[in-house]
Amino acid sequence: MEFLENLTVKDYFKISQITNIEALHKKLELLPYPETIWIGDIRYPTPATLDDITFGQKIGLQNMKCETDYEIVLNTLGLVFQPIVQGVNFDLVAVEKFTQSLLNCKIVEAYPVALFFCRNLQGFNRWRKKNLLIHQRKRKLLPIVITWKNLVIGLLWIWSLKCIGKLTKKYMK
């Protein structure tokens, strides 16, 4: 277990290129979710739920294009911790630069955090798809509502012009 305690994200990447690390994955999956994580020389609290991150971060996590576990861990940590560490609003461009500072994080803290967000994001994706379907149904009905609204406004406009025309004819005689 001491081997895992000293392993960084960068070391994990090097090991994953050399050999098949299925046994290491199984050990890392059993690790508990940490309350804090070392990033640089400072310990930061880890978000406890998906509600602790912004909607933009959730979308960023969902749209990650990763081919290896290393990229998943690094990008997930970058997306989640960029606003916390830098003290600014979430910025996808800043995340790319920020991920380089995460290479020295301990894998025993980084892997469980990435795993937590990737697993919980599946439930978020189901919720998002449901809400998008509802939004799309409303969007399809919107042109019909606008059409009826325009029709009613047009009819009222024509009716008002007829009334004005009758009144002017009546008083012009």
What pLDDT does 144 receive?
Answer: 47
Check if the beta carbon of residue 53 is closer than 8 Å to that of residue 76. no
Tokens 């290491």 sit on residue: 24
- Residue 158, in any domain of the structure: no
Contacts of 68 (CB under 8 A, 6+ apart): 16
pLDDT tens digits along 40-63: 888 999 988 888 888 888 888 887
Tokens 């799309």 sit on residue: 136
- Residue 151, in any domain of the structure: no
Choice between 129 and 149, residue whose per-residue pLDDT is larger:
149
Check if the beta carbon of residue 39 is closer than 8 Å to that of residue 85. yes
- Residue 22, in any domain of the structure: yes
What pLDDT does 28 receive?
Answer: 81
Q: Does residue 1 register a pLDDT over 60?
A: no
Choice between 172 and 103, residue whose per-residue pLDDT is larger:
103
In terms of residue numbers, what domain contains 98? 2-130
Q: How many domains does the chain have?
A: 1
Q: Does residue 173 register a pLDDT over 70?
A: no
- Residue 135, in any domain of the structure: no
Q: Does residue 22 register a pLDDT over 80?
A: no
Choice between 115 and 124, residue whose per-residue pLDDT is larger:
115
What pLDDT does 29 receive?
Answer: 81
87 φ/ψ sector (left φ>0, alpha ψ -120 to 50, else beta): left
Please calculate the CA angle 3-75-91 and round it to the nearest 5 degrees: 140
Please calculate the CA angle 67-71-77 and round it to the nearest 5 degrees: 145
- Residue 61, in any domain of the structure: yes
Task: Give the global pTM.
Answer: 0.66
Q: How high is the mean pLDDT of the chain?
A: 75
Angstrom distance (rounded) from CA 26 to CA 37: 21
pLDDT tens digits along 55-100: 888 888 887 777 777 788 888 899 899 998 988 888 888 888 888 8
- Residue 27, in any domain of the structure: yes
Q: Does residue 125 register a pLDDT over 60?
A: no
Tokens 């970058």 sit on residue: 78
- Residue 121, in any domain of the structure: yes
- Residue 12, in any domain of the structure: yes
